[in-house]
Amino acid sequence: MAEIGQAATDVYAPTKTLQVWRTLLNWLTFFFQIFLQIIRGTPSVASMINYSSSASFMPLPVVEFPESTEPTALATASVHIPSAVADCDCLEKLTVVLDLDETLVCAYETSSLPETVRKKATEAGLAWFELECISSDKEIEGKPKVNYVTVFERPGLHEFLAQLSKFADLVLFTAGLEGYAKPLVDIIDAENRFSRRFYRPSTSSTEYREHVKDLSFISTDFCRVVIVDNNPFSFLLQPVNGIPCIPFSAGQPRDDQLLEVLLPLLKQLSEQRDVRQILYERFHMPEWFEKHGIPASAWATNG
C-alpha cells in the first residue's frame, strides 16, 4: 500500500502511469468496501431471494417515551383522531399485527451466509435454526426448488410473544411468500399464539408502494389495531396505527427492542380506548410520509 501511495502521488510519473495507479486504487477501494460489508453482515434473505419485498427507507430513530403526553394537533386536518380514554374494564383485546422479517427474525440464504457471521452471532447468544422452504422458482424438470435458510431469532422473541398474548390478539402479516414464511412461523410460534396469519397475496398494491399491509383486511375498526413493522411503507394506508421498529440483523446480538421498547408501548396502548392519538404523538407518521412524497390523500380515507 505504501508503494501504491508513493506511485499515486509522484508528480513526475508519466500521465499514463498515474492513470493506471489511480484505477488500481479505485479497485482496491471497491474490494475493501465489499470486505467491510461482509464483516458487518450479509444482506438478509428478504432481499437476496425475494421471499419478502420491502422498499428501502431510512430507519426511524429508536422509539422513545416522552414524559409529556399532552395532545398534539394533527398537521393533516382531514384525519380525525378521537382522544384516547382509558377504560380497561370494558375494552376488548388490542389487536397487534406483527411483521416477520427484520422485525421478529432475520433470515439468510445459508449458502451465502459467511461462517464468521454465524459464529459471532452464536457466540453472542443469538438463537438460530436451519430451515428448508419451497421457492416460487421451478427447477428445470418442473419440480419445486428447495432453498436452505438460516434464521436468527430476535432476542427476547418467545418471551415477547408470551407476554404480548396475555393482553393482545396477535396477527402475523408478512410480505413473504407462504412457502417460506409458514414453516418459519410454525417453528417460532409452536404455541399457536398467532390467531391469524397473512402472507404476500394479502398485501395491496398502491400508487406509491407495493406489498402494503392494509389493516382493513383485518378489521374495520382501527381504534384498537396496531401494526409493528420495520418498513413504515407497509402501513402507509393507516399511518397513525403503525409502530416503526428498528430493523433486526444477525449483527445485533444485544438488541433489546422487543422486551424493552415495544412491549411496554404495546402494554400502554392496550389500556387505551383508541390507540391512534398516542401513536401519532409518538411518531408523527403522517408528516414522515409526506416528507417521503406520499400525500395525505393516499391514506386519509383508510385511517
- Catalogue the active-site residues: 99, 101
CB atoms within 10 A of CB 234: 26
Asked whether 235 and 224 are in contact (CB, 8 A), the reply is: no
Asked whether 185 and 193 are in contact (CB, 8 A), the reply is: no
Identify the residue whose cell numbers are 415477547: 160
Cα–Cα distance for residue pair 279/84, rounded to 1 Å: 10
Grid coordinates standing for 251? 449483527
CB atoms within 10 A of CB 280: 23
Cα–Cα distance for residue pair 156/112, rounded to 1 Å: 26
Long-range pairs of 202-211 with CB within 8 A, sequence gap ≥ 24: 202/173, 203/175, 204/237, 206/236, 206/237, 206/298, 207/298, 208/233, 208/236, 208/293, 208/294, 208/298, 209/55, 209/233, 209/236, 210/53, 210/55, 211/52, 211/53, 211/54, 211/175
